[in-house]
Amino acid sequence: MIRRLIELLSCTAIGGSVALGLELAPAQIIGGAGTGAMLWLALDHHRLGRYRDWLRSGQASGAPDLPDDWSELVERSQKGYKLLERETTKAEARQQQMVAAFQASPHGVLVLDSAERIAICNQSAADQLGFNAERDLGQHMSNLVRDPVFVSYLRSGDYLNPIEITSRASAGRPPRRISLQFHPYGPGNRLLLTRDITREEMADTMRRDFVANVSHEIRTPLTVLSGFVETLLSYDLSVEERERYLLLMNQQAQRMKTLVNDLLLLSRLEGTPAPGRTEWESAPELLEHVVEDARELSNLIAEGSHDIEAEPCPDIELAGSYTELLSAMSNLLSNAVRYTPAGGKIRAGWQLLPQGGAQYWVSDTGPGIEPEHVPRLTERFYRVDRSRSRETGGTGLGLAIVKHVVQRHGGQLRIDSVVGQGSTFRIELPASRVRLAQPELVSA
């Protein structure tokens, strides 16, 4: 400020001195001093204009080159600009992080303004409710989601509890069940949170079906056992009749035992880590074991009339659990025995795959399976022919066990079947779990 005052006085003095040097009248001398002051004011106003234009640009760069007090003011302003730019950059970074998190959320997040128009929407909400997240911004919500339950909920203003609706199918995707709830905030704004609960409902349905199926499967042999016990206690039976009833009771007890063992095995498969690759089992030995078991089963249910043979097996070893691999192989072969009529042909074997790995296969000449049943065969208690399965002692859990074992060993289960010709089941294991048999080390 002092510098600017000195500059003003200097300009005034210079104007007066010029007039005095020209030997003008006193009034003209005063006018000359005033003219000098006006020139200073014009110069100062020009500087102010440059400073103001720079401030309006909003940029720390491009600051005007001004003298004295003006330069100090420019420097202070530059520091303020730089500080503001740093804070703005930080704020923008935080905003970008929030937007990224907002978009990455698996749950839908949507904001409606007071006119029920979409102000903000992430991709999950758009996918779940069936509209375009970018194109439909600003659209009225009721024009996009026309489910009567949703529209009534939107209009009611009672958002204490969530509701559930079925979204429309799109892009080849089936309809989904969506849970949603509004949360009012601010002057008329509403936050809508959505969640896809399709899998949860499917899991609940599967749990209910599982409990119902287990109850039914156990209740049936229990009813039979209870009836036989009551008969034995109530009637004076001959020795032959007692032996026959006891034999039937033993069969039902074994059926329940098998069912419980299968349920325990499934529970263990789902609740333990996958087998490692440190233990190697002989594929030929496993094949020989399950084929012998299949022949014994055939003797029980068809008087050994099935033609069961093992194809030549490559001398390979498999990394994994012996009991799990044996269970999976045995289940496929025993299913073939149960569902193939007496006199049918059943073949099983291992073979190396061209792309690496190995394949266990079981082929039969049974009645075959209709295509609509194939995708559901690995569901628990799913049976194509319930009466046939129960007659031969099946629990309805065999293929579910096979599926879990195969998945735990990194493989795939493939099913091919032609009605009237038979079926082939294949377990494919990856190359990392297959190797040629290693020679045994003989100690000296």
Q: 280-436: same fold as 105-196?
A: no
What is the Cα gyration radius of the chain?
Answer: 43
Burial class, 297, CB count within 10 angstroms (exposed 0-12 / middle 13-18 / buried 19+): buried
Phi, psi (rounded to 5 degrees) for 130: 85, 45
Q: Which residue is it, tokens 């089936």?
A: 174
Phi, psi (rounded to 5 degrees) for 212: -65, -40
Write down the pLDDT at residue 443.
Answer: 47
Write down the pLDDT at residue 396.
Answer: 80
Tens-level pLDDT at each residue, the chain (444 residues): 555 556 555 656 655 565 555 554 565 555 555 665 666 667 666 666 766 776 777 665 666 666 666 666 666 776 777 777 788 788 888 878 877 887 888 889 999 998 999 998 999 998 888 888 888 989 999 888 989 999 999 999 899 999 999 887 666 677 889 999 999 998 889 999 999 998 888 888 777 877 777 787 788 888 888 998 988 888 888 889 889 989 989 888 888 888 888 888 888 888 788 898 889 999 999 999 999 999 998 998 888 889 999 999 999 999 999 999 999 999 999 999 999 999 999 999 999 999 889 999 999 999 999 999 998 888 888 877 655 555 555 678 889 999 999 999 999 999 999 999 999 999 999 999 999 988 765 444
Q: Which of 155, 132, 159 is nearest to 144 (CA)?
A: 132
What CATH number should be reported for the domain whose range is 280-436?
A: 3.30.565.10
H-helix or E-strand spanning residue 2: helix 2-21
Write down the pLDDT at residue 440.
Answer: 66
Write down the pLDDT at residue 359.
Answer: 96
Q: Tens digit of pLDDT for each residue in 269-308? A: 887 888 988 899 999 999 999 999 999 989 988 888 899 9
Pairing mode, strands 307-310 and 345-352: parallel
- Report the C-alpha gap between 270 and 231 in whole angstroms: 41
Write down the pLDDT at residue 13.
Answer: 60
* CB-based contact 281:320 (threshold 8 Å): yes
Q: Which of 119, 101, 99, 100 is nearest to 110 (CA)?
A: 119
pTM of the complete model: 0.57
Write down the pLDDT at residue 444.
Answer: 42
Write down the pLDDT at residue 442.
Answer: 46
CATH 1.10.287.130 fits 201-271, yes or no: yes
Write down the pLDDT at residue 49.
Answer: 73
Which fold is adopted by the domain 105-196? Beta-Lactamase (3.30.450)
Residue 361 C-alpha from the chain's centroid: 32
Q: Is 356 helix (H, G, I), strand (E, B) or coil?
A: coil
Domain boundaries, the chain: 2-98, 105-196, 201-271, 280-436
Write down the pLDDT at residue 204.
Answer: 83
Q: Tens digit of pLDDT for each residue in 134-184? A: 889 899 998 889 899 999 999 998 999 999 998 876 666 778 899 999 999
- Report the C-alpha gap between 416 and 113 in whole angstroms: 56
